[in-house]
C-alpha cells in the first residue's frame, strides 16, 4: 500500500488533518510505521497519532514525556445571572484542592507521572502563594457579559501573551506534551457563546447542563445565553468573541496552545471548555492544527458540534464532563504508547519476519 495513501487514509478515518508541515518527514515516518511487524494500518488511530506527534515535534522519534498539565482557573461575571448550579466561590475552593493534591486531575496526573501547574487566570479570590501556582494578574473574574463586554481588548491580549509565554517556557525546558485543563464556575456558558459567535453553531446545540443543571436550569441558561449573544450579534473574530464573552482562563489556554504549538510541542486538549480555546487559537493560527490532539468527546452536548467544526475526532468517549484536564490525563497513555510503537517496535527486517506477498 502506498505510503501517501495510508497516511491520508488514516488521517481522514481518525479525524486528523492531512500533514502539511513537513511532507518529507511525514513520508519517512509513515514508511517507518508501515515497516513495523503488523499489517499496514492495523493499529488504526495509534498509527495516525504517532505520525501526528512526529510531524508536530519535527522528529522521526517523537516522545510524550515529559508532559505537563497547565490548569487555568477563572471566574465569570455572567454567573450572577444564574447560568450555573454552583456559586463562584467554588472556583477558588477547587484551586486550593488542586494545590493540595486532592482533585481528580491530581490523581490522574500522579498515576501518569505528569506535573501540574495551576494558573490563577482570573479567580475572584486572594489565593495563597504556592510553588505550583502561577498568577496572570489581569483582573479578578470577567465582567457580566449580559450587560457589557466580559473583557477589554487589552485584557484579552494580556491573557494570550501570558498563556503563550507560560507554555513556551515549559517547552523550552524540555516538556514535549502540554495538556490543557481548566476550572471556572460558569465557563460552559462562555465556551458556548464563543463557539456560537465564531462558528455560528446554534446555542440550542451548545447549551448543556455544565456542572449539574437540571432541565429547568438548562432552559434558563439557554434563555440567558440567547440574550447575551444578542448584545453582540453575528459572527465574530476570535479576539472580538473573547472580549465579548470571556473568559480569562479560556483566553490564557488559547495563548498556551499557540505558544506550545509554535515551539513544536504536542498540545493535548481536554473537553468542552478547552476545545473552545482550541477553536479560538486555530481560527487565529490554522497552521498549528497538526500539533493539536483532542483527548475525548465530552458528555456536554455541544462538544460534538465544536469538534466537528474543527474537523477533529477525539481519542476517547467516556461520558466525561468534569474538566480539570481529567480527560486529557486519561488519554495521555495513548500518546505514550503511540511513540513507543514508532520508536521501539521491531520491523519486518529486524525481526526476520516475512513481509506481505505482493
Quick check: is 153 in a domain? yes
Quick check: is 353 in a domain? no
Q: Quick one: 198 and 81 in the same domain?
A: yes
Helix (H, G, I), strand (E, B) or coil at 263: coil
Q: Quick one: 120 and 245 in the same domain?
A: yes
Q: Point out the residues that are catalytic.
A: 324
259 and 166 in contact (C-beta within 8 Å)? yes
- pTM for the model: 0.92
Quick check: is 249 in a domain? yes
Q: Quick one: 182 and 301 in the same domain?
A: yes
The region that residue 60 occupies, defined by phi over 0 for left and psi between -120 and 50 for alpha, beta otherwise, is: alpha
Quick check: is 158 in a domain? yes
How many structural domains compose the chain?
Answer: 2
Q: Quick one: 37 and 111 in the same domain?
A: no
Q: Quick one: 167 and 258 in the same domain?
A: yes
How many whole angstroms separate alpha carbon 121 and alpha carbon 73?
5
Q: Quick one: 250 and 291 in the same domain?
A: yes
Cell digits of residue 214: 437540571
Q: What is the pLDDT of residue 357?
A: 60
Q: What is the pLDDT of residue 15?
A: 40
Q: Quick one: 148 and 291 in the same domain?
A: yes
Q: What is the pLDDT of residue 348?
A: 78
End residue of a domain, out of 45, 62, 79: 62
CA angle 338, 182, 50 (to 5 degrees): 10
Ranges of the chain with pLDDT below 70: 1-21, 351, 354-358
End residue of a domain, out of 62, 89, 111: 62
Q: Quick one: 76 and 58 in the same domain?
A: no
CA angle 323, 326, 327 (to 5 degrees): 95
Q: Quick one: 123 and 214 in the same domain?
A: yes
Q: Quick one: 41 and 78 in the same domain?
A: no
From 119, 271, 123, 86, select the one nearest 191 (Cα to Cα).
271
Supply the range of the domain harboring residue 306: 67-336
CATH number, residue 138: 3.40.50.10210
pLDDT in tens, 262-302: 999 999 999 999 999 999 999 999 999 999 999 999 999 99
Q: Quick one: 324 and 238 in the same domain?
A: yes
Quick check: is 42 in a domain? yes
DSSP string over 76-96: -GGGGGS--SS-THHHHHHHH
Q: Quick one: 57 and 194 in the same domain?
A: no
Amino acid at each position: 500500500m502506498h505510503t501517501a495513501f495510508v497516511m491520508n487514509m488514516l488521517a481522514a478515518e481518525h479525524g486528523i488533518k492531512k500533514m502539511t508541515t513537513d511532507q518529507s518527514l511525514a513520508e519517512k515516518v509513515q514508511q517507518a510505521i508501515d515497516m513495523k511487524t503488523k499489517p499496514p494500518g492495523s493499529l488504526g488511530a495509534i498509527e495516525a497519532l504517532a505520525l501526528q506527534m512526529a510531524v508536530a515535534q519535527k522528529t522521526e522519534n517523537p516522545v510524550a514525556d515529559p508532559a505537563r498539565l497547565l490548569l487555568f482557573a477563572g471566574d465569570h461575571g455572567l454567573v450572577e445571572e444564574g447560568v450555573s448550579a454552583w456559586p463562584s466561590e467554588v472556583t477558588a475552593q477547587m484551586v486550593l484542592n488542586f494545590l493540595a493534591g486532592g482533585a481528580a486531575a491530581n490523581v490522574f496526573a500522579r498515576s501518569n507521572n505528569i506535573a501540574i501547574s495551576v494558573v490563577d487566570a482570573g479567580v475572584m479570590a486572594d489565593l495563597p502563594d504556592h510553588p505550583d501556582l502561577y498568577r496572570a494578574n489581569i483582573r479578578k473574574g470577567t465582567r457580566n457579559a449580559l450587560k457589557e463586554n466580559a473583557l477589554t481588548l487589552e485584557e484579552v491580549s494580556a491573557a494570550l501573551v501570558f498563556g503563550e509565554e507560560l507554555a513556551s517556557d515549559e517547552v523550552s525546558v524540555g516538556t514535549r506534551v502540554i495538556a490543557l485543563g481548566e476550572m471556572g464556575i460558569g465557563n460552559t456558558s462562555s465556551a458556548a457563546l464563543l463557539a456560537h459567535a465564531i462558528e455560528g453553531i446554534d446555542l440550542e446545540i451548545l447549551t448543556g447542563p455544565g456542572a449539574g443543571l437540571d432541565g429547568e436550569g438548562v432552559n434558563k441558561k439557554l434563555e440567558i445565553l440567547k440574550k447575551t449573544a444578542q448584545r453582540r450579534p453575528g459572527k465574530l473574530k476570535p479576539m472580538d468573541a473573547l472580549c465579548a464573552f470571556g473568559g480569562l482562563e479560556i483566553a490564557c489556554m488559547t495563548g498556551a496552545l499557540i505558544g506550545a504549538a509554535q515551539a513544536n510541542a504536542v498540545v493535548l486538549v481536554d473537553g468542552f471548555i478547552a476545545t473552545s480555546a482550541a477553536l479560538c487559537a486555530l481560527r487565529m493560527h490554522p497552521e498549528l492544527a497538526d500539533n493539536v490532539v483532542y483527548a475525548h468527546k465530552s458528555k456536554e452536548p455541544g462538544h460534538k458540534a465544536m469538534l466537528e467544526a474543527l474537523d477533529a475526532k477525539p481519542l476517547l468517549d467516556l461520558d466525561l464532563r468534569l474538566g480539570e484536564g481529567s480527560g486529557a490525563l486519561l488519554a495521555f497513555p495513548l500518546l505514550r504508547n503511540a511513540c513507543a510503537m514508532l520508536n521501539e517496535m521491531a520491523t519486518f527486517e529486524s525481526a526476520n519476519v516475512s513481509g506481505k506477498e505482493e
